[in-house]
């Protein structure tokens, strides 16, 4: 077919083969597609996505070009611009949080890097353009304030707790409410109460993602969370050695019991790349989490090597700077992309309820 016979309807139909990664709905007839123009040789169009999808905007754009090219092979140049729409997130759960995706980061065992990975995922989603909040659900041993070097007491304005801000990212943690070296002594109902307050009484603002750093081990907090709001799912962090993997399986079954979907597994401290000679040493083994994930048919999201800078800098509150170094930043970005891609796939299968976009 020569390009002179091409109609707007035919182009719209080709674009309609694509779906919005956030809503799972076809882009045909959507007002997210604008400014379609073409000549004999080239085509241009603009597709607007919500900020939830921005971490995979480049992949989406690539797919859009390929989809149109497959339908109209005579175009020599196809230019798709991705712009952004301001899409209000839904209000969810009895806590009335305004958020699209709530993701808990957990593990069966302590000290495997949950907090580091949770904060890194949040910071990376934020850097890639999404609206993100970070909640530290480790009431007894909060570590998020330390990782981000954030302190100070949250203010209460009009009955709402104002989260501390890391740049434009709201953060809430028990660490802001107790003195640094003071132990938190809580009984069950108080635990439930503080999690409720973190979710219901905190002014998070509209979010694409709320990342929740879970405490190690027991299912209390998972159960409380699942009663308060529908979680999109959980990410389980583990290290490669066999004992840690057994704990990961325990964590997976804990999330399954509380009906929290499993989004995937991350292998942390996966190999050590020696800064002196660039050689890789698999201190705890390597690839165990990937194999276990395959065995259990859960997605494997990626691996993060052991890195001295990550340990040193993040213990001094400079996690954000550490992520700017590709050695740490690139593996985390891969994990974030897999996560957002998996969420998009889930949305295609079961589209979430969506409020109408506000066009910018």
Ligand X SMILES: Nc1ncnc2c1ncn2[C@@H]1O[C@H](COP(=O)(O)OP(=O)(O)OP(=O)(O)O)[C@@H](O)[C@H]1O
Which residues contact ligand X (rule: CB under 6 A)? 107, 110-116, 138, 141, 143, 216, 268-269, 304, 306-307, 310-311, 314-315
**Closest CB to Mg ion belongs to which residue?**
115
Q: What is the nearest approach in angstroms of ligand X to the Cβ of residue 9?
A: 52
For 254-257, which contacts have Cβ atoms below 8 Å and span 24 or more sequence positions?
Answer: 254/106, 254/108, 254/219, 254/222, 255/104, 255/106, 255/222, 257/219
Which is nearer to ligand X, 30 or 115 (by Cβ)? 115
Which is nearer to Mg ion, 53 or 115 (by Cβ)? 115
Q: What is the nearest approach in angstroms of ligand X to the Cβ of residue 62?
A: 30
Task: Identify any residues that bridge with 26 across adjacent strands, giving them in sequence order.
Answer: 19
In whole angstroms, what is the distance from residue 19 CA to residue 182 CA? 50
Residue pair 26/18 in contact (Cβ under 8 Å)? The answer is yes
Which is nearer to Mg ion, 20 or 136 (by Cβ)? 136
E strand spans, the chain: 33-38, 42-50, 77-85, 91-92, 97-106, 132-136, 156-157, 160-161, 164-166, 169-172, 207-213, 233-238, 262-273, 280-281, 300-306
Q: What is the nearest approach in angstroms of Mg ion to the Cβ of residue 41?
A: 56
Which is nearer to ligand X, 36 or 309 (by Cβ)? 309
Nearest to residue 41, comparing CAs of 79, 13, 89, 67? 79
Q: What is the nearest approach in angstroms of ligand X to the Cβ of residue 273?
A: 10
Q: How many helices (H) and strands (E) does the chain have?
A: 11, 15
Element containing residue 118 per DSSP (H, E): helix 114-127
Residue pair 296/329 in contact (Cβ under 8 Å)? The answer is no
Q: What is the nearest approach in angstroms of Mg ion to the Cβ of residue 217?
A: 11
Q: What is the nearest approach in angstroms of ligand X to the Cβ of residue 158?
A: 33
Q: What is the nearest approach in angstroms of Mg ion to the Cβ of residue 131?
A: 24
Which is nearer to Mg ion, 208 or 320 (by Cβ)? 320
310: Cβ contacts below 8 Å, ≥ 6 apart: 116, 304, 319, 322, 328
Which is nearer to ligand X, 20 or 313 (by Cβ)? 313
Partner from ligand X, Mg ion, none contacting 111, C-beta within 5 to 8 A by type: ligand X
Which is nearer to ligand X, 15 or 139 (by Cβ)? 139
Q: What is the nearest approach in angstroms of ligand X to the Cβ of residue 141?
A: 6
Per-residue DSSP letters for 190-256?
HHHHHHHHHHHSB---SEEEEEEEPPSS-SHHHHHHHHHS---EEEEEE-SSHHHHHHHHHHHHHHH
3-state SS of the chain: helix, strand, coil percent to 5?
40, 25, 35
Partner from ligand X, Mg ion, none contacting 226, C-beta within 5 to 8 A by type: none
- Burial class for 40, CB neighbours closer than 10 Å (0-12, 13-18, 19+): exposed
Contacts with Mg ion by CB under 5 A lie at 114-115, 143
Partner from ligand X, Mg ion, none contacting 219, C-beta within 5 to 8 A by type: none
Q: What is the nearest approach in angstroms of ligand X to the Cβ of residue 308?
A: 7
Which is nearer to ligand X, 173 or 268 (by Cβ)? 268
In whole angstroms, what is the distance from residue 269 CA to residue 311 CA? 11
């Amino acid at each position: 077919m020569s390009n002179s016979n091409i109609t707007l309807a035919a182009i719209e139909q080709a674009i309609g083969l694509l779906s919005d990664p956030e809503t799972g709905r076809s882009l045909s007839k959507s007002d997210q597609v604008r400014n379609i123009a073409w000549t004999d040789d080239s085509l241009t169009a603009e597709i607007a996505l919500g900020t939830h999808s921005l971490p995979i905007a480049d992949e989406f754009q690539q797919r859009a070009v390929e989809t149109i090219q497959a339908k109209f092979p005579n175009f020599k140049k196809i230019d798709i611009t991705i712009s952004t729409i301001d899409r209000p997130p839904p209000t969810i759960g009895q806590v009335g949080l305004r958020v699209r995706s709530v993701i808990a980061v957990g593990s069966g065992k302590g000290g495997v890097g949950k907090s580091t990975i949770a904060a890194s995922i949040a910071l990376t989603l934020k850097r890639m353009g999404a609206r993100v909040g970070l909640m530290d659900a480790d009431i007894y041993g909060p570590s998020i304030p330390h990782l981000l070097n954030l302190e100070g007491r949250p203010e209460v304005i009009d009955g709402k707790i104002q989260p501390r801000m890391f740049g434009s990212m709201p953060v809430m943690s028990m660490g802001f409410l107790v003195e640094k070296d003071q132990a938190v002594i809580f009984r069950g109902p108080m635990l439930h109460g503080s999690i409720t307050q973190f979710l219901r009484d905190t002014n998070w603002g509209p979010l694409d993602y709320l990342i929740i750093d879970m405490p190690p081990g027991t299912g209390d907090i998972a159960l409380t969370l699942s009663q308060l709001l529908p979680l999109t799912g959980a990410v389980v962090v583990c290290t490669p050695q066999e004992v840690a993997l057994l704990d990961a399986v325990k964590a997976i079954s804990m999330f399954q019991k509380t009906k929290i979907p499993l989004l995937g597994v991350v292998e942390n401290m996966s190999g050590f790349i020696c800064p002196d000679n660039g050689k890789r040493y698999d201190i705890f083994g390597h690839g165990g989490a990937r194999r276990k994930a395959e065995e259990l048919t859960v997605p494997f999201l990626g691996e993060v090597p052991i890195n001295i800078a990550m340990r040193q800098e993040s213990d001094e509150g400079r996690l954000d700077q550490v992520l700017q170094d590709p050695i740490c930043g690139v593996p985390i970005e891969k994990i974030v992309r897999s996560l957002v891609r998996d969420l998009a796939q889930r949305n295609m299968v079961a589209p979430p309820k969506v409020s109408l976009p506000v066009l910018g």
